Structure 1
Amino acid sequence: MWRLNKVRHKAARQGDSLEELKLKRREHEKALRQARRDRQLVSKRLLLNEDEDQPEVTMDTNSGEQDVVSLFHRLQHTGPERETHLRALSKALRDPSAQLTFIKQENSIHLLVGLLTGSNATCRLQAVRCLHELSHSPHTNVAPTCLPATPYLLTYLSGQSTKFTELCLYTLGNLCPDSDVVKDKLLAQGIIPALTNCIENQRHNLAVVEAVWFTLSQLLQAKDAAEKIVPMVLASSLPSHLLSVLTPDPKFGLAPAIECAWCLHYLTCSVKDNGVLLAHGALPRCSSLLVSLGGAVAEGNKEEEMELLICPLLRCVGNLLSSCPVEDLSTQAGDVRIVVALCAFLQAYLQTQPALARESAWVLNNLTAYSSAFCSALLTLNLVPGLIRLLPLSQGINTMVLRVLANIAHKKKEFGVQLAQLGLLSALCATLKMANHEMVTLSMDVLFMLVVSAPQVAEEFVRQDGLSLLEALQYNSEGEIRQRATHLVEHHLLSYSSICSVDNTPCS
């Protein structure tokens, strides 16, 4: 089900085979998405030239600054060769130094705008490709020079040509991050209504859908997005459209769903109260999709880029849970299969993507913090032994897993007894020896909940020589650890020390 589309809608540039360039593009976009996942970076997208059937463009000189100047002067004159000159210009503008040279030419952008708004359809397409190449520039001073073209790019989002609309969207998306002036101008020019209109008109075209959500995700990563952009988005119909297409397509692949998920993530982490998104059904939608993905992962299906969809979905669910009323948690978060999916992600990505495993544990913690139903599900579905086996790990996974186990123990005393029977006591004996102070402190918190759940649990801990571990911790350099260890020994465990001699077990 989670197969990537092998025949993408973007074709190759001249000089390389189509399949090689598709592979390069997929790898490049994967790297961009991974950077965004790991470091919250904005990313620019460069569409490949789809005109692979055209003859190779012959240029008088090598691509570079001189070519740009020469082509600019030629384009100022009308003639049958204008289309050829525009294609040559778009190719030359792939060079960052040539981009700077071009914008320094007087009225260069206005020339492109004139061609963009002219009657020649081919020239319009090539003009927007030139603007697209400029929008991909690493130089931040290039984006503001493209402002004269933005009203037309927004207007053309309602056009009928998929190729043209897609180019306009990615050009706008690339221009957003470089300049607050550009971003504010786009907002004033109505980019949010334009994106809304575009998705309503072309919601069945997944190439355009992907481009819409990419452009919106670029906007939502602005520093002032929470104040200026998110309220406009939430007041529009974009959230409902976003959730309606938050599904991987079996033929097209994961890319549109990935862009949707990142948009939703930026929305959920930008506001304190996610009531609007909860009202739209965002939590059950994301939970349901995670359940489906968890089933695929549990069966050994880890398709390329699947983790890039799982990551933002996990963050969405974790953030939405913090806004969800406790009384609505069970219905909003979906059925208990969500904990199965989260445990599947934990196991599957433990070695290859530890950050993803840690986020899975974080969502599991948020789920179990207020819900006895999800705590009970972990026990009845026999998922706890797998969690206990993760306690010797590091990278923050063990501390989060221990918090999950603490949530379970806290809910009901019988849960504490079950945890002890499943081997948590012996695991705590190991974690109490760790150098990580947070793990030791958390271990004593969990131990406290276990030993007060039933006398037999306290007796079993003493049998396992746990009392000597706590007595050693009474000399720890951390005052909080010393106090907790002393409290456990003197108030909850010292009275059971006599069981050692009764059972002929040597005491410390």
Structure 2
Amino acid sequence: MDTYSDDKDVVSLLHKIQHRGPEREGHLYTLGKSLRDPASQLVFIKQENSVHVLIGLLTGTNTQCRLQSLHCLHELSHSPHPSVAPACLPATPYLLTYLSGQSTRFTELCLYTLGNIFPDSDVVREKLLAQGIIPALASCIENQRHNMAVVEAVGFTLSQLLQTKEASRKIIPLVLASSLPSNLLAVLTPNQNFALGPAIECAWCLHYLTCSGEDLQAVLASDVVLQCGMLLVSLSDTVAQGNKEGGLELLIWPLLRCVGNLLSSSTSDEVCACLSDERVVAALCGLLQAYIQIQPALARESAWVLNNFTARSSLFCSTLMRLNLVPSLIQLLPFSQGINTMILRVLANIAHKKRESCVELAEFGLLSSLSATLKMAAQEVVTLSLDILFMLLASGSQVVEDFVKLGGISLLETFHYCSEGDVRRRATYLLEHHLLTGSPYSGNCIPHS
């Protein structure tokens, strides 16, 4: 950062802006630039009444001085020093009041200033909650729903609140009791005003709500699952057309987490009923395949949600089979980084839900793929593979015969002699009960649970 001469340092500028004159706006602008420096921020707040000087200009009649003073407060809100945020507390009632103002640019800057100053300060957070920041945000997004820049700023500020350590106890109940969930959800409706930035911020807010462990009935009543699922369908279609740029994955992440968390945390069949549209399952498979090479972590997230779907309901298992999506999943089993683990869980769900599906899975070539995954180093992959193999072998003699032809007996014998614990017991059980008659093997055998 540039070194300021004596007449332009923070102290000098503070003194100058306290005097009326045509140069005041210029001095405020220069002060804002100087406050980008953390050292200058400390110098500023140590000056007597420094923040109150900015508040006086913020609440004055000069439009440019009001905006420049707000810029100064915004620069202070970025400070890494823990003492700066509490020093800005006198300004927060005015920042909240201006959320209902007419100037969208002013409102937007107030929101980002508020969102920056409270994450690391318990004192500021407590004060803002007492001052009514949640109702203020709810009113702001309600009144500015067509201004996407303001909506994005509301989403940013709220997401900062929802990530704080006391969020589940003090903040989330207030949010769920407000109109915020429905207004956040409205942003996720693709229409002529749809904008990626606001959608990303609002989707992350919904994610923090869905993973909070709180009573989510208020969220579910707003059809979060359905809305996120339908938007995933739309995004999957876009990705399938070759559009994987522009930050789409930044929106896909929180949408997947919203759906996945609600599926795993809710005991109600209402969640599954909301997503009876088979396009959602197809969309998850499409995203899984589209990102498996370029963003494996996102592909794994898609597989995780698919697992939660198939674990909850046999309907989704049948949908995967009916839409002929299983063969493409089986082809992805060689991929590591947890992707094959999730796909194996999906396949296990299918095999478990319906015995007849086991024969079809074998016909899709799953036996040969399992022969490969059984040779992998990851014990979780091997254990899941043995569990699926148990269900397949129990489904009929033809599957047993096919596995024997693939060298299955020698493969399981390797586990019997060279492995320990659950892997050895599972392999021994399969040998004794499904592949060998009058086997000499003995051990602590356990059936698949």
Q: TM-score, normalised by structure 2?
A: 0.94
Alignment of 1:431-450 (within 5 A): 431-450=373-392
1:428 aligns with 2:370: yes
Query: Stretches of 4+ moved more than 6 A in 1?
Result: none
Partner of 1:457: 399
CA drift of 1:496 comes to 11
**Partners of 1:248 and 1:257 within 8 A in 2:** no
Please state how far the C-alpha of 1:248 moved relative to its aligned partner.
5.2
Inter-partner Cα distance in structure 2 for 1:463 and 1:159: 76
> Which residue is 1:179 aligned to?
121
* Residue matched to 1:134: 76
CA offsets, 1:6-57, max 9 Å, x none? xxxxxxxxxxxxxxxxxxxxxxxxxxxxxxxxxxxxxxxxxxxxxxxxxxxx
Q: Which residue of 1 aligns with 2:189?
A: 247
* Equivalent in 149, 160, 170 of residue 102 of structure 2: 160
CA contact (8 A) 2:74 2:109 kept: yes
1:332 and 2:274 aligned: yes
Shift of residue 418 of structure 1? 0.5
- The one-letter amino acid of 1:435's match is A
When residues 329 and 170 of structure 1 are mapped into structure 2, their CA distance, relative to the original with a 3 A threshold, is closer
How big is the shift at 1:64?
Answer: 9.4
Contact 2:148/2:195 (<8 A) preserved = no
1:485 equivalent in alignment to 2:427? yes
- Does 1:322 pair with 2:268? no
**Per-residue Cα deviation, 1:335-360 (whole angstroms, up to 9, x for no partner):** 01111111111111112211111110
Name the CA shift for 1:249/1:149 in 2 (closer, same or farther; >3 Å).
farther
Single out whichever of 187-196 and 271-280 deviates more from structure 2. 271-280
CA–CA distance in structure 2, aligned partners of residues 454 and 245 of structure 1: 51
Please point out which of 364, 377, 380 is paired with 2:306.
Answer: 364
Asked if 1:71 corresponds to 2:13, the answer is: yes
- TM-superposed deviation, 1:492: 1.4
CA-atom RMSD in angstroms: 1.8
User: 2:65 corresponds to which residue?
Assistant: 123
Alpha-carbon distance, 1:68 to partner: 1.2
**Separation (CA, whole Å) in 2 of partners of 1:189 and 1:148:** 12
2:235 to 293, 296, 300: 293
Q: Structure 1 residue 275 and structure 2 residue 221: aligned?
A: no
Instruction: Identify the residue that residue 95 of structure 1 maps to in structure 2.
Output: 37
- Preserved CA contact (<8 Å) 1:288 1:334: no
Amino acid at match of 1:489: L
Render the CA deviation track for 1:396-441: whole Å, top value 9, x for unaligned: 1111110000000001111111100000000011111112111111
* Separation of aligned partners in 1, 2:21 and 2:361: 81
Q: 1:238 aligns with which of 151, 161, 180?
A: 180
**Residue identity opposite 1:225 in structure 2:** A
Amino acid at match of 1:315: R
Mapped contact 2:190–2:231 kept (Cα < 8 A): no
Assess, with a 3 A threshold, how the Cα gap between structure 1 residues 63 and 173 changes in structure 2: closer, same or farther: farther
Separation in 2, partners of 1:63, 1:336: 67
Aligned length: 438
Residues 254-292 of structure 1: CA deviation (Å, up to 9, x unaligned): 000000100000111112542221111111011111111
Provide structure 2 residue ranges, at least 5 long, that are not aligned to the other structure. Answer: 440-449
C-alpha separation in 2, matches of 1:96 and 1:142? 10
SS at match of 1:140: coil
In 2: Cα distance, 1:68 partner to 1:252 partner: 43
1:258 aligns with 2:200: yes
**For residues 63 and 211 of structure 1, do their structure 2 counterparts lie closer, same or farther at Cα, with a shift above 3 Å needed?**
farther
User: Cα–Cα, structure 1 residues 83 and 65, in superposed 2: closer, same or farther, change >3 Å?
Assistant: closer
Deviation at 1:324, TM superposition (A): 3.4
1:378 corresponds, among 320, 324, 343, to 320
Q: Counterpart of 1:313?
A: 255
| Aligned equivalent of 1:44 | none
Q: By how many angstroms is 1:249 displaced?
A: 6.0
Tell me whether 319-328 or 347-356 shows the greater mean CA deviation.
319-328
> How do 1:36-47 and structure 2 match up within 5 A?
none
| Mapped contact 2:187–2:194 kept (Cα < 8 A) | no
Contact 1:268–1:320 (CA under 8 A) maintained in structure 2: yes
| Alignment match, 2:46 | 104
The amino acid across from 1:479 in the alignment is G
Task: Give the distance between the partners of 2:144 and 2:150, measured in 1 at CA.
Answer: 7
CA-CA distance at 1:139 after TM superposition: 2.1
Question: Which protein has greater RCO, CA pairs closer than 8 Å, 6+ apart?
Answer: 1
Unaligned 5+ runs, structure 1: 1-58, 498-508
1-structure distance, mates of 2:6, 2:364: 69
Alpha-carbon distance, 1:491 to partner: 0.8
Q: Is the 8 A contact 2:118 2:125 kept in 1?
A: yes
The 3 A distance-change label for structure 1 pair 64 and 371 is farther
Does structure 1 residue 212 correspond to structure 2 residue 154? yes
Deviation (angstroms), 1:147 = 0.4
Give the TM-score of the pair, scaled to structure 1. 0.83
Asked whether 1:413 is paired with 2:355, we answer: yes
Check the 8 A contact 1:116/1:128 in 2, yes or no.
Answer: yes
Q: Is the 8 A contact 2:314 2:353 kept in 1?
A: yes
- In the alignment, is residue 351 of structure 1 matched against residue 315 of structure 2? no
- Is contact 1:431-1:439 (8 Å) kept? yes
Distance 1:212 1:63, change over 3 A: farther
Shift in CA distance, 420/329, structure 1 to aligned 2, threshold 3 Å: farther
Q: Secondary structure at the match of 2:352?
A: helix
- SS of the residue aligned with 2:377? coil
SS at match of 1:80: coil
**What does residue 445 of structure 2 align with?**
none
**For the residues of structure 1 that align with 2:342 and 2:265, how far apart are their CA atoms?**
20
Give the Cα–Cα distance (whole angstroms) in 1 for the partners of residues 103 and 266 of structure 2.
42
Structure 2 residue aligned with 1:473: 415
Q: Does 1:143 align with 2:85?
A: yes
| Aligned residues of 1:369 and 1:404 also touching (Cα < 8 A) | yes
Contact 2:263 2:272 in 1 (8 A): no
Question: 1:142: Cα distance to partner?
Answer: 1.3
Structure 1 CA distance for aligned equivalents of residues 386 and 184 of structure 2 = 44
